[in-house]
């Protein structure tokens, strides 16, 4: 794919690219926005260094790619910005150090996420993204045939009997908020990307069980499929600097925020774009089982 308006530098062989010379706070032309969207689809996650965005600018940029969700189905937003999820890992936020795709426990997970770095430790705190499309392509043919037919239940609920053993009081409080409304959705394990037509493994940290299988069988199969997603050749690692913006395609990636920075402060803010209902290779759509996420995906008024 050729780009007339962007200077793009791939970072890893299968996923990730830096876009140079773009000021995201500017009134970008429709042609530039179109090419950024094409780069997002091609590279799955794209990065912009040295940006001078505030929350309003972050929301305005994200809105060029679609309607904006509320900050989160259960976690409160910034008081003055209902679209912004403030992730202050030195204070209240639970560290997202597990492989996941954002908010897959609802029936319309986000199209993508725009993340802005406000405070970054001098070392540690990197984020890794994985390409779930190349992971699917890596599967042996017989495993692809199995995956093609599977559907899995995703939920924000935790197994508290297992999880509560080593949790701090702060993390227990955060999880109580996170699960204040329980959501469950049945998604295809193999999702067809609505823009590229690519097939990708649509699993990650919110998967609870494959439909029709026992817990043990389900865990074993998900562990096997997930191992293809997180192979090093399907990943890219980003070393954050203050002012960085990352924009990832939530329909074709997983990510993992590395919790290796101890008590050092780390604060980022996220805005997510309303997505569509996932579709499997048989053309069937995901189905909500529990919880009404319509308020999360409602159209928010444009700030004036």
Residue 149 reports pLDDT greater than 70: yes
Domains of the chain by residue range: 7-290
In which band, very low, low, confident or very high, does the pLDDT at 162 lie, cut at 50, 70 and 90?
very low
pLDDT tens-digit series, residues 93-110: 566 689 999 999 999 999
**Which candidate in 86, 102, 107, 249 is catalytic?**
102
pLDDT tens-digit series, residues 226-277: 999 999 999 999 999 999 999 999 999 999 999 999 989 999 999 999 999 9
Question: Across-strand partners of 21?
Answer: none
**Catalytic site includes residue 270:** yes
Distances (CA, A) of 81 to 53, 66, 93, 122: 14, 17, 17, 28
**Which candidate in 100, 108, 154, 199 is catalytic?**
100
**Which candidate in 14, 81, 108, 270 is catalytic?**
270
Residue 189 reports pLDDT greater than 90: yes
Q: Give the CATH class of 7-290.
A: alpha beta
**Catalytic site includes residue 5:** no
Confidence at residue 163, expressed as pLDDT on a 0 to 100 scale: 46
**Which candidate in 187, 208, 255, 266 is catalytic?**
255
* 8 A C-beta contact, residue 125 and residue 261: yes
In which band, very low, low, confident or very high, does the pLDDT at 304 lie, cut at 50, 70 and 90?
very low
**Window from 31-35, 76-80, 262-266 with minimum mean pLDDT:** 76-80
- For the chain, how many helices (H) and strands (E)? 7, 16
**Catalytic site includes residue 102:** yes
Tokens at 149, concatenated = 């037919």
In which band, very low, low, confident or very high, does the pLDDT at 175 lie, cut at 50, 70 and 90?
low
**Catalytic site includes residue 81:** no
Confidence at residue 300, expressed as pLDDT on a 0 to 100 scale: 45
pLDDT, mean over the chain: 91
**Window from 67-71, 88-92, 108-112, 297-301 with minimum mean pLDDT:** 297-301
Confidence at residue 301, expressed as pLDDT on a 0 to 100 scale: 41
In which band, very low, low, confident or very high, does the pLDDT at 176 lie, cut at 50, 70 and 90?
confident
What integer is the mean pLDDT of 291-301?
A: 78
**C-alpha–C-alpha distance, residues 41 and 189, integer Å:** 20
3 state SS of 62: helix
What integer is the mean pLDDT of 22-46?
A: 98
**C-alpha–C-alpha distance, residues 2 and 21, integer Å:** 17
Continuous segment of H or E residues that includes residue 249: strand 245-249
Residue 186 reports pLDDT greater than 80: yes
Q: Which residue has the tokens 């995906």?
A: 297
**Helices 141-148 and 215-229, axial angle in degrees (round to 10):** 120
């Amino acid at each position: 794919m050729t780009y007339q308006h962007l200077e793009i530098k791939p970072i890893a062989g299968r996923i990730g690219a830096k876009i140079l010379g773009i000021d995201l706070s500017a009134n970008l032309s429709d042609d530039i926005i179109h090419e950024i969207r094409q780069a997002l689809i091609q590279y799955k996650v794209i990065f912009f260094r040295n940006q001078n965005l505030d929350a309003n600018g972050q929301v305005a940029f994200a809105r060029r790619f679609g309607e904006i969700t509320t900050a989160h189905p259960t976690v409160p937003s910034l008081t003055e910005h209902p679209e912004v999820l403030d992730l202050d890992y030195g204070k209240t936020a639970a560290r997202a150090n597990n492989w996941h795709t954002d908010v897959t426990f609802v029936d319309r997970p986000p199209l993508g996420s725009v993340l802005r770095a406000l405070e970054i430790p001098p070392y540690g705190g990197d984020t890794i993204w994985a390409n779930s499309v190349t992971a699917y392509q890596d599967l042996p043919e017989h495993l692809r045939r199995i995956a093609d037919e599977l559907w899995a239940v995703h939920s924000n609920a935790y197994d508290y009997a297992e999880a509560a053993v080593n949790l701090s009081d702060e993390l227990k409080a955060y999880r109580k908020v996170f699960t204040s409304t329980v959501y469950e959705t049945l998604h295809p394990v193999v999702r067809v990307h609505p823009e590229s037509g690519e097939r990708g493994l649509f699993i990650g940290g919110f998967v609870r069980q494959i439909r029709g299988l026992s817990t043990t069988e389900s865990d074993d199969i998900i562990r096997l499929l997930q191992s293809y997603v997180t192979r090093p050749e399907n990943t890219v690692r980003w070393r954050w600097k203050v002012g960085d913006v990352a924009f990832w395609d939530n329909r074709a990636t997983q990510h993992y925020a590395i919790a290796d920075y101890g008590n050092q402060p780390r604060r980022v803010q996220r805005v997510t774009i309303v997505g569509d209902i996932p579709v499997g290779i048989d053309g069937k759509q995901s189905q909500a089982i529990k919880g009404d996420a319509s308020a999360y995906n409602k159209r928010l008024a444009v700030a004036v």
